Amino acid sequence: MAVFTKRSRLTLPATALALLGSALALSGLVQSPAHAQGASEYRNTISNNMRACAPGGGPAVRVTVTGIRSAEGMIRVQSYRGTRDDWLEKGRWLNRIEAPARAGRMVFCMPLPAEGTYGIAVRHDANGNGKTDISQDGGAMSNNPSINIFNLGKPSYKKTAFSVGREVKQITIEMKYM
């Protein structure tokens, strides 16, 4: 015969309900609250999991970032849909990976939600203050378009977009600094 303490009697129903809710959501019979409210697929901060870029993975992009000036601050890699409506628009990034900077070269695996057209933006926040300091920070984008004062560092989505199928696509992005 099982003996329950006052504490276990209070937590057992809550645990059972949570497990039941998770099972129903996974089965598709009941939508999770976030999905039911029309939660966006945007603004996902993820870890740099290189296993997601192993053979047979995908859709994903293996991003090699070269020309990192110093090991100071943070490197941020963000994926966007390769469309005029999403490219570099505030809050319209799909996935974000942040990691402490390493001088020279770093490699990231960016999973993507589906086959399609995407763009990648990279930022080196050299002093780690979370702000863009043009004289110190670096930036770069997929397809390595020119970034200058005339386009305010925002080249057209047409210059940065690339297609990804079910595979793991490999790209190299060269950092640019003032």
pLDDT at residue 95, as a whole number: 97
12, part of any domain = yes
The range of the structural domain enclosing residue 21 comes to 6-36
> What local confidence, expressed as pLDDT, does residue 150 receive?
56
Shared domain for 128 and 57, answered yes or no, is yes
Q: Is the dihedral of CA 47, 53, 57, 60 positive or negative?
A: positive
Contact by Cβ (8 Å): 49, 63: no
Percentage of the chain lying above the pLDDT 70 cut: 74
Q: How many domains does the chain have?
A: 2
Is residue 83 a part of any domain in this protein?
yes
Answer whether residue 1 is part of any domain.
no
Say whether both 30 and 76 belong to one domain.
no
106 Cβ contact partners less than 8 Å away, ≥ 6 residues apart? 64, 65, 68, 75, 99
Measured between alpha carbons, how far is 122 from 104 in angstroms, rounded to an integer? 14
Confidence of residue 170 (pLDDT cuts 50, 70, 90): very high
Same domain flag for 86 and 164: yes
What CATH number corresponds to the domain at position 50? 2.60.40
pLDDT per residue over 39-79, tens digit each? 358 999 999 999 999 999 999 999 999 999 999 999 999 99
32 and 62, same domain (yes or no):
no
Domain shared by 27 and 55, yes or no: no
Check whether 82 has a pLDDT greater than 80.
Answer: yes
Residue with tokens 């090991």: 71
pTM reported for the whole predicted model: 0.76
CB count, 10 Å around CB of 142?
A: 23
Bigger pLDDT: 134 vs 100: 100
Q: Do residues 51 and 80 share a domain?
A: yes
- Please indicate, yes or no, whether residues 154 and 73 belong to a single structural domain of this protein: yes
Instruction: Label residue 67 exposed, middle or buried (CB < 10 Å: 0-12, 13-18, 19+).
Output: middle
> Are 173 and 140 a contacting pair, CB within 8 Å?
yes
Q: Are residues 29 and 106 in the same domain?
A: no
Q: Three-state DSSP class for 150?
A: helix
Contact (Cβ atoms closer than 8 angstroms) between residue 153 and residue 137: no
